[in-house]
C-alpha cells in the first residue's frame, strides 16, 4: 500500500532528503563491495561494509536496510550478467528512497512514526489515507520504504492480512468468484455489485494482429511477424497486470476475502476445438492472469481457491438445477426449473463462489477421487507457495438431477 506523506515541514523534508542521500551512498558502498568481491552473500557484504555505512551517519536500523538493498541489486546485476554478455556496472539511483526496517517505524492512527536512530527520538509524518484504506492500517507489518516522486514523499507499507485456518471456522469469508471468458475477460460478482472486464478490445486487437500477421507472412517478413507477436504479448501482459491488481483490490474491500477461479483446464476445454476462439484469447493469457492474481493476492493476504469447472456455467444459483437448457444463449441464463434469470457470466461467478465456499467448508477433496482416470491432476501447491485447492466435487445442492 502506497500512501502520501501529508506535506512534511521544512525540517522534516531536510531530514528525508539527507537520509535518502546517505542511504543511497550506503547502498552504493554495499554494492561496490559486492561487485568487487563478486558475491551477493548478505553476511559477507554486511561484514565488509557495515562500519563504513554506519560512518555515513546512517542510523543502525537503516544500515541493515542499505545492506539488504545492496544485496538485492547485486543479485539482479549478477542475474542480468548471466543472460546478457555485458551489463553496465549498476549505480544506485536517487529515486530508490529510504529503506525503513520493520523496527524503524510504526503507524500510529494515520500517522507514520519514524525512528531517527536516537533512542526515543521520532519524526511524525501524518499520512493521506483514503477512507476505504483506513481499516488496512492495522495490518501494516514488515520492511517499508520511503520514496520521493517529484516534490512529494510517499511511503510503501507492506500489509500482512491475517489468514484464517483452511478448514472453515464458522464463516465470515467474503468469497468472490471470478469467471474468465471470451466475451468478458473477467466477471466477478461481489457484495456491492459486479466487476467486469469487457473482452471486446482484446478480441478486436487479436483479430487485427492476426490479419496483419497473415499479410506479413505472405511477404515472408518473419522478423516482423515475431516482433509483432512480442508486442501483442506485452500488451496482454500489461492488461493482465492491471486486471489482476483490480481484482485483488476489489477483494481487499471486504473482510476475510477469498478469490475463487475455475481450474484452468476448464478454460482450455472451453476454447478447444475452435481456431477462431483460440485466437480471441489464448489460454496462456488466462493462465497468466491467474498467475498474477495468485502472486498479488499472496502478498496482500488474500486467499485464492480453485474449483471444478464442470457445471459452473449451467447450474442455477438459486435452486441448483443443472442442465444445458438453462443457457438458451451464450450470454443469458434462465433456469428451466425455477425461472431464475440473469447474465450468464454473473451466474457463473456466483456458482464459482459457491463451489469455493464448499471447498473452504469441507477442505480439499480426497485424493482418491482426484486420481480417477480422465480427471485433471489436482492443483496442490500453486505458484509462490500459495496454497490452492482443486475441488473434484461441487456442493450437492448444485448437483441436482438434470
What does the binding site for Zn ion look like in residue numbers (CB under 5 A)?
316, 318-319, 321, 335, 337-338, 340
Say if residues 104 and 123 touch (Cβ distance below 8 Å).
Answer: no
Write out the three cell numbers for 280: 480471441
In the complex, the smallest distance separating the C-beta of residue 340 from Zn ion, rounded to whole angstroms, is 4
| CA 126 – CA 95 distance, rounded (Å) | 22
Nearer to Zn ion, 60 or 400 (CB): 400
Nearer to Zn ion, 173 or 345 (CB): 345
Nearer to Zn ion, 93 or 402 (CB): 402
Maximum Cα–Cα distance for the chain, whole Å?
Answer: 77
Write out the three cell numbers for 252: 481487499
In the complex, the smallest distance separating the C-beta of residue 375 from Zn ion, rounded to whole angstroms, is 27
Nearer to Zn ion, 122 or 340 (CB): 340
| CA 399 – CA 384 distance, rounded (Å) | 33
DSSP per position, 51-96: HHHHHTT--HHHHHHHHHHHHHHHHHHHHHHHHSS--PPP---GGG
In the complex, the smallest distance separating the C-beta of residue 396 from Zn ion, rounded to whole angstroms, is 15
In the complex, the smallest distance separating the C-beta of residue 357 from Zn ion, rounded to whole angstroms, is 18
Query: 241 — phi, psi (to 5°)?
Result: -60, -45
- The radius of gyration of the chain's CA atoms, rounded to the nearest angstrom, is 26
In the complex, the smallest distance separating the C-beta of residue 267 from Zn ion, rounded to whole angstroms, is 25
In the complex, the smallest distance separating the C-beta of residue 319 from Zn ion, rounded to whole angstroms, is 3
Q: Which helix (H) or strand (E) holds 122?
A: strand 122-128
Nearer to Zn ion, 372 or 401 (CB): 401
In the complex, the smallest distance separating the C-beta of residue 334 from Zn ion, rounded to whole angstroms, is 9
| CA 320 – CA 168 distance, rounded (Å) | 22
CA 286 to each of CA 180, 184, 186, 330, 366: distance values in angstroms, whole numbers, following the listed order: 7, 12, 10, 19, 27
Nearer to Zn ion, 156 or 319 (CB): 319
Nearer to Zn ion, 350 or 379 (CB): 350
Amino acid at each position: 500500500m502506497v500512501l502520501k506523506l501529508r506535506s512534511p515541514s521544512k525540517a522534516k523534508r531536510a531530514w528525508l532528503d539527507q537520509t535518502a542521500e546517505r542511504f543511497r551512498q550506503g547502498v552504493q558502498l554495499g554494492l561496490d563491495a559486492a561487485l568487487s568481491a563478486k558475491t551477493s552473500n548478505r553476511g559477507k557484504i554486511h561484514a565488509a561494509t557495515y562500519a563504513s555505512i554506519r560512518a555515513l551517519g546512517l542510523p543502525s536500523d537503516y544500515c541493515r536496510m542499505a545492506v539488504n538493498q545492496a544485496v538485492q541489486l547485486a543479485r539482479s546485476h549478477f542475474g542480468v550478467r548471466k543472460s546478457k554478455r555485458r551489463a553496465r556496472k549498476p549505480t544506485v539511483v536517487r529515486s530508490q528512497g529510504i529503506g525503513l526496517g520493520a523496527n524503524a517505524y510504526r503507524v500510529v492512527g494515520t500517522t507514520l512514526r519514524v525512528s531517527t536512530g536516537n533512542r526515543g527520538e521520532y519524526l511524525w509524518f501524518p499520512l493521506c489515507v483514503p477512507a476505504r484504506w483506513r481499516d488496512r492500517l492495522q495490518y501494516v507489518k514488515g520492511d517499508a520504504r520511503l520514496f520521493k516522486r517529484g516534490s512529494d514523499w510517499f511511503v510503501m507499507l507492506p500489509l500482512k492480512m491475517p489468514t484464517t485456518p483452511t478448514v472453515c471456522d464458522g464463516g465470515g469469508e467474503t468469497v468472490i468468484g471470478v469467471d474468465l471468458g471470451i466475451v468478458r475477460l473477467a466477471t466477478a460478482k461481489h457484495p456491492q455489485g459486479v466487476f467486469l472486464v469487457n473482452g471486446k478490445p482484446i478480441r478486436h486487437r487479436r483479430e487485427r494482429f492476426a490479419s496483419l500477421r497473415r499479410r506479413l507472412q505472405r511477404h515472408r517478413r518473419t522478423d516482423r511477424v515475431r516482433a509483432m507477436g512480442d508486442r501483442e504479448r506485452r500488451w496482454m501482459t500489461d492488461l493482465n497486470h492491471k486486471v489482476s491488481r483490480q481484482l485483488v483490490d476489489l477483494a481487499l474491500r471486504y473482510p476475510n476475502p477469498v478469490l475463487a477461479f475455475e481450474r484452468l483446464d476448464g478454460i482450455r476445454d472451453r476454447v478447444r476445438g475452435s481456431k477462431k476462439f483460440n485466437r480471441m484469447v489464448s489460454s496462456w493469457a488466462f493462465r497468466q492472469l491467474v498467475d498474477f492474481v495468485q502472486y498479488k493476492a499472496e502478498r496482500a493476504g488474500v486467499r485464492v481457491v480453485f474449483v471444478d469447472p464442470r457445471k459452473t456455467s449451467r447450474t442455477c444459483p438459486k435452486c441448483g438445477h443443472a442442465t444445458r437448457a438453462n443457457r438458451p444463449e451464450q450470454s443469458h441464463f434462465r433456469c428451466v426449473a425455477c425461472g431464475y434469470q440473469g447474465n450468464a457470466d454473473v451466474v457463473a461467478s456466483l456458482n464459482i463462489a459457491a463451489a469455493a465456499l464448499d471447498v473452504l467448508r469441507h477442505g480439499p477433496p480426497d485424493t482418491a477421487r482426484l486420481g480417477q482416470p480422465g480427471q485433471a491432476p489436482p492443483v496442490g501447491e500453486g505458484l509462490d507457495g500459495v496454497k490452492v485447492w482443486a475441488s473434484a466435487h461441487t456442493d450437492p445442492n448444485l448437483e441436482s438431477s438434470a
